[in-house]
Amino acid sequence: MAVFKLIPCLVLFALFSFDVGVAHPGFGFGWGSNGPSIGRTFSSGLFPQFYQFSCPQADEIVMTVLEKAIARNPRMAASLLRLHFHDCFVQGCDASILLDDSATIRSEKNAGPNKNSIKGFEVIDEIKAKLEQVCPQIVSCADILALAARGSTILSGGPSWELPLGRRDSTTASLNGANTNIPAPNSTIQNLLTMFQRKGLNQEDLVSLSGGHTIGVARCTTFKQRLYNQNGNNQPDETLERSYYYGLRSICPPTGGDNNISPLDLASPARFDNTYFKLILWGKGLLTSDQVLLTGNAGNIVELLNMGHDYSYSQPSKSEEYGGETADSIYSETEDLIRRDQAEIRYNYGEPVQYPPQPEALSKIACNRLQKELTEWQVNPPTGFRHKVNDNLQKWTIDVTGAPGTLYENETYQLQVEFPVNYPMEAPQAFFFPPGPLHPHIYSNGHICLDILYDSWSPAMTVSSVCISILSMLSSSPAKERPADNDRYVKNCKNGRSPKETRWWFHDDKV
């Protein structure tokens, strides 16, 4: 990667001294495919051109709805990816997860792994409603879920894959199946291998599919045990990297805060890349089920993690290495499902979502997004941050308090976050009111050298995710000092120049 060495600075989690890679070598989900060419036949009877004549616009419609949904709520990409996983792991990819309670159905939505957790139904409804207008009763909900998972991956900067289509929707659901087949976050490596094996998936599939955790978040309740009582002896999980552990403690206090959230991939929470694997190698996997991929001593998992770590888009042949077998094993399961007599194509799910009215200064998308972020913040502010309420949606002033046990404990600084009219397509401008915390990545004029504020910004990120990254950056600082080039940089930043005009160079992967 060409690197412009104008401002050498150290930056949190900046791991980008190499080409962008993918989190999932061979990420075909098994339920999709990394098949090499158009026209490939699939043992399941599914094929990518299934809607070529009956609904050629299907994928385009899915993508249009997704783009808007993800712009409104950046986390939606992750939620839709997970929705597909939780559908497929119960009775195959048959959209059974969409069925509500009825006289004959006990909805999977109420299963432990899904209740108050699984999201994205309204987006699937919206896609379905649009498809029904254009090609009524043609596209199955199961295919919509698969298309939405692929589209969400692409829109998060991840790879695409050839997706065989033609699934049928189930008329049954299995609450019990959802409770027993979807792995728990505190699973041991053996649990995980067994549960994946039951679905015809092997160790390599487990590692590559776990890479779905390159985007999205998890609630404290799903990993708190690791912080305070991993093995029943009131001690934290010793496999947690120390600075990461302190950062997580600041988000998840010992009591309460169970619904506070932390990114599954702290380095690039909204970007589909391979940092998830790097973080695991560094002891920064969020869930037990993530970290045991490394610590569980299961055969060649370490080697696989390293391969995920090194994988890049320029090496398509590896997807065959990883994905080929997986695809076949899952297709045979899908084959049974689409042949079932009771399978049907469901339609007419609810009304499309209505959006609030358009304000003047910001674009409609920016305004909707910010209102939503603000509402979410009010309900669930990131720990250590306080938004100073004013009537300016475009400019937020936030108090940042250093996390307990860190160099900045009990110190409070003011962060200003200003949003461009086309937010979230463009990154916000964030800086500390000078002088800001003494930190190796924070200049005395308040400018912050943090990649997600510049090159690595993704529309799927939020003010909260920016704040969490800043707090982690502070928490992992080994010393209170300014960047080595502070004086030169600040001198050159005349007349309130925006930090976004700087060409930053990120080369530090420790702080």
Whether residue 424 is preceded by a cis peptide bond, meaning omega within 30 degrees of 0, is yes
Total Cβ atoms within 10 A of residue 183: 18
Q: Is 224 in the site for ligand HEM (CB under 6 A)?
A: no
Contact 33, 323 (CB under 8 A): yes
| Residue 96 is labelled as binding a ligand | yes
Q: Is 243 in the site for ligand HEM (CB under 6 A)?
A: no
| Residue 205 is labelled as binding a ligand | no
Whole-Å CA distances, 464 to 129, 213, 221, 429? 32, 18, 19, 14
Among positions 262, 289, 458, 469, the unique one binding ligand HEM when judged by CB under 6 A: 289
Determine the residue type at 14. A
Q: Is 219 in the site for ligand HEM (CB under 6 A)?
A: yes
Among positions 135, 154, 218, 393, the unique one binding ligand HEM when judged by CB under 6 A: 218
| Residue 90 is labelled as binding a ligand | yes
How near is the Cβ of 81 to ligand HEM at its closest, in Å? 4
How near is the Cβ of 59 to ligand HEM at its closest, in Å? 20
Among positions 110, 171, 187, 315, the unique one binding ligand HEM when judged by CB under 6 A: 187
The stretch among 30-38, 74-82, 444-452, 473-481 that binds ligand HEM (CB under 6 A) is: 74-82
Among positions 90, 142, 192, 298, the unique one binding ligand HEM when judged by CB under 6 A: 192
| Residue 162 is labelled as binding a ligand | no
| Residue 352 is labelled as binding a ligand | no
Q: Is 271 in the site for ligand HEM (CB under 6 A)?
A: no
Q: Pick from 424, 430, 454: which is nearest to 155 by CA? A: 424
Q: Is 452 in the site for ligand HEM (CB under 6 A)?
A: no
How near is the Cβ of 132 to ligand HEM at its closest, in Å? 26
Among positions 22, 23, 55, 81, the unique one binding ligand HEM when judged by CB under 6 A: 81
For the chain, how many residues are written?
Answer: 511
Whether residue 113 is preceded by a cis peptide bond, meaning omega within 30 degrees of 0, is no
Of 218 and 281, which has the nearer Cβ to ligand HEM? 218
Among positions 140, 203, 210, 334, the unique one binding ligand HEM when judged by CB under 6 A: 210
| Residue 101 is labelled as binding a ligand | no
How near is the Cβ of 329 to ligand HEM at its closest, in Å? 15
Total Cβ atoms within 10 A of residue 505: 21
Q: What share of the chain is helix, strand, coil (3-state, %, to 5)?
A: 40, 10, 50
Q: Dig out the tokens for 370 from the structure.
A: 């910010």
Among positions 8, 45, 185, 257, the unique one binding ligand HEM when judged by CB under 6 A: 185
Of 9 and 252, which has the nearer Cβ to ligand HEM? 252
Contact 261, 238 (CB under 8 A): no
Among positions 64, 68, 106, 119, the unique one binding ligand HEM when judged by CB under 6 A: 119
How near is the Cβ of 79 to ligand HEM at its closest, in Å? 4
Total Cβ atoms within 10 A of residue 350: 12
| Residue 94 is labelled as binding a ligand | yes
**Catalytic site residues?**
86, 449
Whole-Å CA distances, 319 to 28, 156, 161, 208? 9, 19, 10, 10
Q: Is 72 in the site for ligand HEM (CB under 6 A)?
A: no
Whole-Å CA distances, 390 to 371, 424, 472? 13, 21, 26
How near is the Cβ of 374 to ligand HEM at its closest, in Å? 19
State how far the Cα of 331 lies from the Cα of 504, in Å rounded to an integer.
46
Total Cβ atoms within 10 A of residue 53: 7
| Residue 237 is labelled as binding a ligand | no
Half-sphere exposure of 185 (CA within 13 A, CB side): 20
Which run of H or E residues covers position 185? none
| Contacts with 218 (C-beta within 8 Å, 6 or more apart), sequence order | 185, 261, 262, 264, 286, 287
Among positions 26, 216, 440, 446, the unique one binding ligand HEM when judged by CB under 6 A: 216
How near is the Cβ of 192 to ligand HEM at its closest, in Å? 5
Pinpoint the alpha helices (H) of 312-456.
Answer: 317-339, 364-379
Binding site for ligand HEM (CB under 6 A): 75, 78-79, 81-82, 85, 117, 119, 183-185, 187, 192, 209-210, 212-213, 215-219, 222, 264, 287, 289
As annotated, the binding site for Ca(2+) includes 87, 90, 92, 94, 96, 108, 214, 265, 273
As annotated, the binding site includes 87, 90, 92, 94, 96, 108, 183, 213-214, 265, 273
As annotated, the binding site for heme b includes 213
